[in-house]
Amino acid sequence: MVLLFFACGQNKPGKTENGERKTENGELSTLHFPLFNADSAYAFVKAQTDFGPRVPNTEAHEQCAAWLVEKLTEYADTVMVQEFRTRLYNNKGIDGKNIIASFNPKAGKRIILCAHWDSRPYADHDPDEANWNTPIDGANDGASGVGVLVEAARCFHSQPLPEKLGIDIILFDLEDYGPRFDQSEQYYDDRRNHWALGSQFWASQHHIRGYQASFAILLDMVGGPNPSFRKEYYSQGYAAWLSNKVWRTAQDLGYGRYFINELGDPISDDHLPLNEIAGIPSIDIIDLNPNSSNQCFPEVWHTLNDNIDNIDKNTLKMVGEVLIHSVYQE
């Protein structure tokens, strides 16, 4: 018997790769993973940066939102935009849009895959102080995670998930609109988190009443060359079992050099509201290098050099494969 499996392919459509897992009775079953296309993921990253900096309440932001909705609608069963209004660090009101694409919306077991799609309005870590008020392209910081997730959506569409498993891809807005680093003390307020505003809103007001998810995986800065994906501190504290599982998957795929089995720095990111407000075990796959001169982040972080020229297809590919394998093993 010849079995034909249709999935997204690295070179040709319809290609898969196989793996094995043990069933509940101890028997081995074959898993078929869609092949993650790095060229496609890169194209999805570039499509976002081509709009320019995706700063909320700008034309580029509106155009990119429309493109994301249109693209995800090609692949997902349902797509919705959760519009909200919130306050920035300076108490100015601002509108945001969380974009949610769902697969198998009736499935009881749900997994969240997420990233932020906005880009920073300030290049406040640029070597040139004259650029500190200039918006950045955010190719790595934002667009890379979104590009991987849009390609993952294409894979889920090409090779449908098991009926019992549902995926919700959530693209959070207003993650990166915190105060400039040189103004942080001026706007410090221990009662408010000025970052991750979109995920804070979603965590307190889900897009579906009574929504529950088994866990969430956040992608942030997953497109730079020679990355160091260490186990982010809060991720390990809130969901060590998930973090360990994902890193084991990376090791099995041969990416142990980049998915380093070490504890990384604590990062305030979109996974914190999911853990602390929504109570959903969540981890952050994020490039963390303790030897970086730009805190623990990539050298281009919050600079004008965070552009498409510094995106590495190999990094997109490894993160995409780890994500796809982690999901289909569920």
For 292, phi then psi, to 5°, come to -70, 145
Q: Rounded to the nearest 10 degrees, how much is the dihedral formed by the CA atoms of 249, 254, 260, 262? A: 60
Cα 275 to Cα 97, 168, 235, distances in angstroms: 21, 16, 9
Cα 131 to Cα 38, 177, 293, 307, distances in angstroms: 32, 16, 18, 15
What residue spans of the chain are helical by DSSP H?
38-49, 59-75, 144-158, 197-204, 233-252, 271-276, 313-328
Q: Supply 304's token pair.
A: 């004008």
CB neighbour list of residue 279: distance below 8 Å, 6 or more residues apart: none
pLDDT of residue 19: 53
Domain spans in the chain, listed from the N-terminal domain onward = 16-328
Cα 219 to Cα 57, 107, 110, distances in angstroms: 24, 23, 17
pLDDT of residue 189: 74
Query: What is the domain class of 16-328 according to CATH?
Result: alpha beta
Least confident of 149-153, 227-231, 240-244, 326-330: 326-330
pLDDT in tens, 51-84: 999 999 999 999 999 999 999 999 999 999 999 9
Higher pLDDT, 15 or 135: 135
Selection from 322, 287, 316 nearest residue 41 by Cα: 316
- Given a cut of 60, whether residue 11 has pLDDT beyond it is no
Please tell me the total number of residues recorded for the chain in this structure: 330
Sign, CA dihedral 205-211-214-216, equals: negative
Q: Rounded to whole angstroms, how far apart are CA atoms 231 and 174?
A: 24
Q: Which residue type sits at 150?
A: V
3 state DSSP class of 109: strand
Task: Quote the pTM value.
Answer: 0.91
Q: Taking residues 180-196, what's their average pLDDT? A: 83
Q: Rounded to whole angstroms, how far apart are CA atoms 299 and 126?
A: 10
Q: Is 24 exposed, middle or buried (0-12, 13-18, 19+ CB in 10 A)?
A: exposed
Least confident of 175-184, 189-198, 263-272, 300-309: 189-198
- In DSSP notation, 178-229 reads PPPGGGTTTT--TT---S-HHHHHHHHS-SSTT---SEEEEEES--SSS--E
Selection from 177, 199, 198 nearest residue 271 by Cα: 199
12 pLDDT tier (thresholds 50, 70, 90): very low
- In DSSP notation, 157-175 reads HHSPPPTTEEEEEEEESSS
pLDDT of residue 187: 80
